[in-house]
């Protein structure tokens, strides 16, 4: 077992950031279902004086800050419950106090919440900075969802892991804060931990760069996201609804990437994305990574042709948006994108991602090519980017587990 995956057994919490999980139940209710678990963060700073007024008593001499996402009833009668950010939520506080007490020398608590903790790997010098990032991201989410709420799923979608919940919130917050080495799956019932919320909800709304559509006969070096119409499975005609996103990578030094680069007019580029692929006659369709793949290549060539001559017919109706590289080398980011794509290719062999059936895809309830592009962008740190293009982009708000973009064949 990896170090960051180990469950810890101690009543004294050293400075660090801990990912906890507890049973889901109201403390005043006799019902205590064992099949639902709720994830939350326990943050114990190196220098508590920096967070004075935010930390609380965690029991057994420990102090820290608790954060997570929670099911909060709507503000009006019959309104839907929402997924909201909270600090030091009472049930989490009760659970962590139960934990520190039951792991002390003379426990007094009864096992109600049955919490467990895992300590992600974070260098000691980075603990307080990471805590500050998480608190800032939580507040940004709170502000982003004030007018456009994220609704908590009903029982059936929640049981099936189809919609974001508190576990989704915890794992997305970890992604945003850059906590890569952590446990994601705990014993029993972590429903929703393998999907992600859009990271833009955790970022300041003031940043708008990287979202403008591009209209040019040539693309300068950079990272671009394209969106095109979806073709029918028969290859004849366009699907009535739905768009497909893909990456267009334009390097500064094309020679660095060898035969991965193709020429599109005067623009050298690499096109990458994920696609609805049936590996064999009897197998189910899967979400597979490819480079310079069929219809994306056709759509990109059509884009340049129609920029040159706007009167030409537009079958693919392609839109392109340039992401902001945030001061980093374009070619270094391209290398990260390609490496992450190959890691997904390798990991997907062992952990297949099945392409959703058409009804689920149309409703935006299954991971697809749009999910792949946005998840890969998160994984390599491309934060300033467009997520929603003209038309319908189902799946762009879901996320694939970041683990799928790590490692791979050596």
Per-10-residue mean pLDDT, the chain, length 410: 53 86 65 70 90 87 92 76 92 90 71 82 80 91 89 81 88 87 75 88 61 74 90 53 89 91 87 85 82 90 82 82 74 94 92 85 84 92 81 87 75
Q: Give residues with Cβ within 8 angstroms of 193, minimum separation 6.
A: 39, 167, 168, 170, 171, 184, 185
Backbone angles phi, psi at 361, to 5 degrees: -65, -45
SS3 letters for the chain?
CCHHHCEECCCCCCCEEEEEEEECCCCCCCCCCCCCEEEEEEEECCCHHHHCCCCEEEECCEEEEEEEEEEECCCCCCCCCEEEEEECCHHHHHHHHHHHHHCCCCCCCCCCCCCEEECCCCCHHHHHHHHHHHHHHHHHHHHHCCCCCCECCCHHHHHCCCCCCHHHHHHHHHHHHCCCCCCCCCCCCCCCCCCCCCHHHHCCCCCCCCCCECCCCCCCCEEEEEEEEEECCCCCCEEEEEEEEEEEEECCCHHHHHHHCEEECCEEEEEEEEEEECCCCCCCCEEEEEECCHHHHHHHHHHHHHHHCCCCCCCCCCEEEEECCCCCCHHHHHHHHHHHHHHHHHHHHHCCCECCCHHHHHCCCCCCHHHHHHHHHHHCCCCCCCCCCCCCCCCCCCCCCHHHHCCCCC
Do 222 and 250 form a contact (C-beta atoms < 8 A)?
Answer: yes
Burial classification of residue 33, based on how many CB atoms lie within 10 Å of its CB (0-12 exposed, 13-18 middle, 19 or more buried): exposed
Q: Which pLDDT score, from 0 to 100, does residue 397 have?
A: 86
Q: What is the pLDDT of residue 4?
A: 46
d(CA 17, CA 28): 29
Side-chain half-sphere of 245: how many Cα atoms within 13 Å? 28
Q: Closest by alpha carbon to 288, among 201, 369, 174, 183?
A: 369
pLDDT at 135: 92
* pLDDT of res. 76: 66
pLDDT at 203: 81
So where are the chain's domains? 3-192, 222-405
User: Which pLDDT does position 87 carry in this prediction?
Assistant: 93
Count CA within 13 A, CB hemisphere, residue 48: 12
At 165, list the tokens. Answer: 């919940």
């Amino acid at each position: 077992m990896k170090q960051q995956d180990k469950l810890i057994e101690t009543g004294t919490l050293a400075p660090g950031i801990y990912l906890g999980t507890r049973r889901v139940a109201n403390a005043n209710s006799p019902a205590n279902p064992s099949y639902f678990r709720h994830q939350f963060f326990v943050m114990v700073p190196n220098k508590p004086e920096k967070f004075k007024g935010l930390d609380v008593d965690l029991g057994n001499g420990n102090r820290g800050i608790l954060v997570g996402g929670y099911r909060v009833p709507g503000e009006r009668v019959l309104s839907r419950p929402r997924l909201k950010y909270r600090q030091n939520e009472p049930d989490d506080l009760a659970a962590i106090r139960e934990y520190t007490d039951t792991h002390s020398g003379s426990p007094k608590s009864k096992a109600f919440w049955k919490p467990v903790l895992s300590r992600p790997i974070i260098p000691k010098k980075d603990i307080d900075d990471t805590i500050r990032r998480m608190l800032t991201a939580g507040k940004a989410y709170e502000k982003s969802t004030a007018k456009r709420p994220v609704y908590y799923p009903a029982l059936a979608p929640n049981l099936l892991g189809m919609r974001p919940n508190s576990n989704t919130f915890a794992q997305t917050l970890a992604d945003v804060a850059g906590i890569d080495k952590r446990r994601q799956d705990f014993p029993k019932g972590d429903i929703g931990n393998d999907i992600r919320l859009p990271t833009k909800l955790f970022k300041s709304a003031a940043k708008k760069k990287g979202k403008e559509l591009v209209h040019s006969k040539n693309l300068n070096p950079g990272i671009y996201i394209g969106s095109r119409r979806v073709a029918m499975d028969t290859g004849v005609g366009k699907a009535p609804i739905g768009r497909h996103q893909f990456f267009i990578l334009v390097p500064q030094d094309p020679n660095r990437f060898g035969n991965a680069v193709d020429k599109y007019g005067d623009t050298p580029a690499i096109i990458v994305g994920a696609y609805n692929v049936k590996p064999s006659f009897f197998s189910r369709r899967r979400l597979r990574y490819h480079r310079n793949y069929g219809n994306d290549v056709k759509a990109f060539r059509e884009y340049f042709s129609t920029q040159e001559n706007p009167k030409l017919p537009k079958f693919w109706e392609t839109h392109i948006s340039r992401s902001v590289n945030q001061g980093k080398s374009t070619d270094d980011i391209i290398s990260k994108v390609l490496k992450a794509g190959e890691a997904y290719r390798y990991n997907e062999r062992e952990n297949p991602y099945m392409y959703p059936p058409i009804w689920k895809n149309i409703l935006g309830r299954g991971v697809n090519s749009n999910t792949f592009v946005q998840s890969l962008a998160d994984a390599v740190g491309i934060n300033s980017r467009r997520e929603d293009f003209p038309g319908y982009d189902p799946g762009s708000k879901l996320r694939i587990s970041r683990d799928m973009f790590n490692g791979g064949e050596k």
